[in-house]
């Protein structure tokens, strides 16, 4: 098939053919143009307005580069290129801000896209070109050995979004040497492994992941905004303002308009997000302060919010608790073929340092409007049984021991 090209700021010219063009033009793919890759991170980094659509094209491009490097003996690798392009069509509005709600109300994870690619325009295009929609769906869900190219410890999805997110946020945090990684990845006993020649490139990717976690993905403004959005969306679903199936298929603007037009709490949150009038941090501490037992509270967050609100004497809607999952970087578990198969952590002492450092990035938060901050803060620290942090002492050079200079 004749090739065309499109200019991408990350990878340069990306080639695509008539078949891929037809997939681009389906409503399901076009919706991704209206879903930000980083949700509310643009409230911190104004340039972070890139979308799931361009990321999907980038993942497709990297998968095609891997195909060229590997010189496969069968055409099943072509299915992975298609899967890479379609892998994000199951995401809801504002990406991760609504992901858990969609799972709860539809019993479907974002990578379960069987219906999305078999009963609409995408399915028609796939069948026209000899592809089986169910096979593509299995690759996207991670149910095949080949799907590791798209979804594993180090894959084309991560390579693209790390490079893309760094570019659009302006966070200079290393680099993603995807060409070296792609050239030194191969299958061994149905496992995707790196060769020893790719260890440094893998380390560089992990550095990028660490800095993006600390600077962008776990930035407190992003966490607060996503928590506020999620709470407002819970109201929309519980009050049957929107059906779960329709909610999952919304784009960012559709959800924003729905929230703006809703009465009560969702409308208030929409106005706050529109004007960056966000909740503040009543409690915001790491594992060194709150302890690892805090993870036991993740399944009881609504009850905790009500209890803190009651003790603070405020409306429960104005207390939001955010306990992210235990910090980890899946990339550390990548396999390396160095005479024998080993984990990346076993062949790179540097990765051990990052494993410790990445725990320091994790924070749990209790958020509340500014006017309730003091009473909510006291109630939150009392509930989690931690001491309120002392005020930061101003540093002076005269405080330094001369013997250390």
Domains of the chain: 3-170 (1.10.3210.10)
Burial of residue 254 (CB within 10 Å: 0-12, 13-18, 19+) is middle
pLDDT value of residue 73: 54
CA angle 251, 127, 192 (to 5 degrees): 75
Judge contact between 175 and 204, C-beta under 8 A. yes
Residues 376-398 as b or e (16 or more Cβ within 10 Å = b): bbbbbbebbeeeeeeeeeeeeee
Strand 191-195, strand 3-8: pairing = unpaired
| Confidence (pLDDT) at 72 | 56
Backbone angles phi, psi at 295, to 5 degrees: -65, -20
Are 53 and 63 in contact, with CB atoms under 8 Å apart?
no
Alpha carbon 338 to chain centroid distance?
A: 31
Q: Which own/partner contact pairs does 381-384 have at CB distance under 8 Å and 24+ positions apart? A: 381/283, 382/311, 383/304, 383/307, 383/308, 383/311, 384/283, 384/290, 384/294
Residue 339: predicted pLDDT? 82
How far is it, in rounded angstroms, from Cα 281 to Cα 286?
13
The tally of CA atoms less than 13 A away on the side-chain side of residue 32 is 21
Nearest Cα neighbor of 20 from 113, 118, 128, 179 is: 128
Contact 199, 207 (CB under 8 A): no
Spatial separation of the C-alpha atoms in residues 344 and 203, rounded to whole Å: 9
Three-state secondary structure of 180-233: HHHHCEEEECCEEEEEHHHHHHHHHHHHHHHHHHHHHHCCHHHHHHHHHHHHHH
Query: Under 8 Å CB-to-CB from 390, ≥6 apart: which residues?
Result: none
The one catalytic residue in 110, 139, 184, 372 is 110
**Edge-to-edge strand order for the sheet containing 320-322?**
280-285, 364-368, 320-322
Instruction: Say what the pLDDT of residue 140 is.
Output: 97
Catalytic (active site) residue 372? no
From first to last of its 405 residues, the chain has per-residue pLDDT tens of 788 999 999 999 999 999 999 999 999 999 999 999 999 999 999 999 999 999 999 999 999 999 888 765 556 779 999 999 999 999 999 999 999 999 999 999 999 999 999 889 999 999 999 999 999 999 999 999 999 999 999 999 999 999 999 999 999 766 789 999 999 999 988 899 999 999 999 999 988 988 899 899 999 999 999 999 999 999 999 999 999 999 999 999 999 999 999 999 999 999 999 999 999 999 999 999 999 999 999 999 999 999 999 999 999 999 999 999 987 778 888 999 988 899 998 888 888 788 778 888 899 999 999 999 999 999 999 999 987 755 444 444 444 444 433
Give the CA distances from residue 146 to residues 38, 56, 304, in Å, rounded to whole numbers and listed in that order.
Answer: 27, 18, 43
- Could you tell me the pTM of the whole model? 0.91
Coil vs helix vs strand at 251? coil
Give the C-alpha distances (Å, rounded to integers) separating 132 from 111, 114, 124, 128, 146: 17, 11, 10, 10, 15
What is the reported pLDDT for 71? Answer: 64
Phi/psi for 116 (5° steps) reads -70, -25
- Strand partners for 284: 365
The label of the residue with tokens 């700021």 reads 9
DSSP 281: E
* Alpha-helical segments (H) within 239-371: 244-248, 252-261, 265-274, 287-290, 301-312, 344-347, 349-359
Q: Is 283 helix (H, G, I), strand (E, B) or coil?
A: strand
Looking at residue 326, its pLDDT comes to 84
């Amino acid at each position: 098939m004749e090739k065309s090209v499109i200019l991408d700021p990350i990878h340069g010219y990306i080639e695509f053919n008539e078949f891929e063009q037809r997939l681009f033009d389906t409503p399901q793919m076009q919706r991704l143009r209206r879903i930000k890759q980083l949700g509310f991170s643009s409230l911190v980094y104004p340039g972070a307005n890139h979308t799931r659509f361009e990321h999907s094209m980038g993942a497709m491009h990297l998968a095609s580069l891997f195909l060229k490097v590997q010189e496969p003996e069968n055409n099943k690798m072509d299915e992975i290129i298609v899967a890479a392009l379609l892998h994000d069509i199951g995401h809801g509005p504002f990406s991760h801000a609504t992901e858990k709600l969609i799972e709860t109300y539809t019993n479907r994870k974002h990578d379960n896209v069987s219906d999305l690619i078999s009963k609409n325009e995408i399915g028609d295009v796939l069948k026209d070109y000899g592809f089986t929609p169910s096979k593509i769906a299995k690759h996207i869900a991670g149910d095949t050995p080949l799907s590791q190219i798209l979804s594993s410890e180090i894959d084309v999805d991560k390579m693209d979004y790390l490079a893309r997110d760094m570019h659009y946020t302006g966070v200079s945090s290393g680099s993603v040497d995807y060409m070296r990684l792609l050239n030194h990845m191969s299958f061994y006993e149905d496992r995707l492994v790196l060769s020893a020649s790719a260890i440094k490139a893998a380390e560089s990717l992990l550095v990028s992941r660490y800095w993006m976690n600390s600077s962008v993905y776990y930035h407190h403004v992003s966490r607060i905004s996503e928590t506020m959005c999620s709470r407002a969306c819970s109201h929309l679903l519980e009050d049957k303002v929107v059906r779960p199936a329709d909610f999952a298929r919304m784009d960012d603007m559709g959800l924003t308009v729905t929230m703006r037009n809703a009465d009560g709490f969702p409308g208030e949150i929409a106005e706050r997000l529109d004007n960056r009038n966000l909740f503040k941090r009543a409690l915001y501490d790491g594992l060194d302060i709150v302890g690892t037992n805090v993870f036991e509270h993740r399944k009881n967050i609504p009850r905790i919010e009500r209890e803190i609100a009651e003790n603070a004497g405020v409306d429960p809607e104005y207390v939001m608790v955010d306990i992210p999952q235990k910090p980890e970087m899946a990339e550390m578990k990548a396999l390396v073929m160095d005479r024998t198969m080993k984990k990346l952590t076993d062949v790179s002492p540097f990765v051990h340092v990052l494993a410790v450092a990445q725990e320091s990035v994790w924070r749990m938060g209790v958020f509340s409007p500014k006017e309730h901050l003091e009473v909510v803060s006291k109630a939150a620290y009392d509930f989690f049984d931690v001491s309120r942090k002392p005020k930061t002492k101003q540093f002076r050079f005269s405080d330094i021991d001369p013997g250390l200079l």
